[in-house]
């Protein structure tokens, strides 16, 4: 499990258990997605590209790129309350040929029922993909 003690903004410390839960999901651990930082309106993550994440053209598979983008938006939307993915649109700008990715999810807007994130995926300092992800805030009870 990743030690999140140095990456979570002090104002979000009370939400550490929620963040830890999202980062210890079996699928996320299997892929090796790492949390870089969590701020009130921004989440950053990174991931190393393994040989099994390549497509038939020998570059990073779009599904892997989408997954890290989706998870960064999901963590951002779930820091303070429960939310589920409603929609995610992604545009691929260039092939992923480097062995590492970084993703930045920045809040566009948050209302009573929706959280909308702008997500950018970078590799070797270049924009690989970008998208907008919307989560529906779940009210319990």
Over range 86-95, report the average pLDDT: 97
**pLDDT at residue 3 above 70?**
no
This prediction has a pTM of: 0.92
Question: pLDDT > 90: what percent of the chain?
Answer: 93
* pLDDT over 60 (residue 1): no
Domain boundaries of the chain, sorted by first residue: 10-137
Residue 2: the pLDDT is 45
6-20, 73-87, 95-109: which has the minimum mean pLDDT?
A: 6-20
Q: Specify the higher pLDDT residue, 124 or 2.
A: 124
Q: Kindly report the number of other CB atoms within 10 A of residue 104's CB atom.
A: 20
Confidence class for position 6, pLDDT limits 50, 70, 90: low
Give the alpha-carbon dihedral of 119, 31, 80, 38, to 10 degrees: -60
Rounded to the nearest 10 degrees, the angle between the axes of helix 16-23 and helix 62-78 is 160
**pLDDT, mean of residues 35-61:** 96
For 10-137, give the CATH class. Answer: alpha beta
**Residue that wins the pLDDT comparison between 38 and 141:** 38
b (16+ CB within 10 A) / e for 81-102: eebeeeebebeeeeebebeebb
């Amino acid at each position: 499990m990743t030690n999140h003690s140095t990456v979570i903004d002090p104002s979000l410390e009370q939400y550490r258990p929620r963040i830890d839960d999202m980062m210890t999901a079996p699928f996320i651990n299997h892929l090796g997605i790492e949390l870089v930082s969590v701020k009130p309106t921004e989440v950053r993550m990174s991931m190393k590209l393994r040989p099994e994440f390549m497509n038939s053209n020998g570059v990073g598979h779009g599904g892997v790129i989408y997954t890290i983008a989706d998870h960064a938006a999901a963590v951002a939307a779930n820091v303070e309350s429960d939310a589920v993915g409603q929609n995610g649109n992604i545009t691929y700008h260039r092939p992923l040929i480097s062995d590492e990715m970084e993703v930045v999810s920045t809040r566009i807007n948050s209302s009573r029922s929706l959280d909308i994130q702008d997500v950018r995926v970078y590799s070797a300092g270049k924009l690989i993909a970008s998208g907008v992800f919307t989560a529906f805030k779940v009210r319990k009870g």
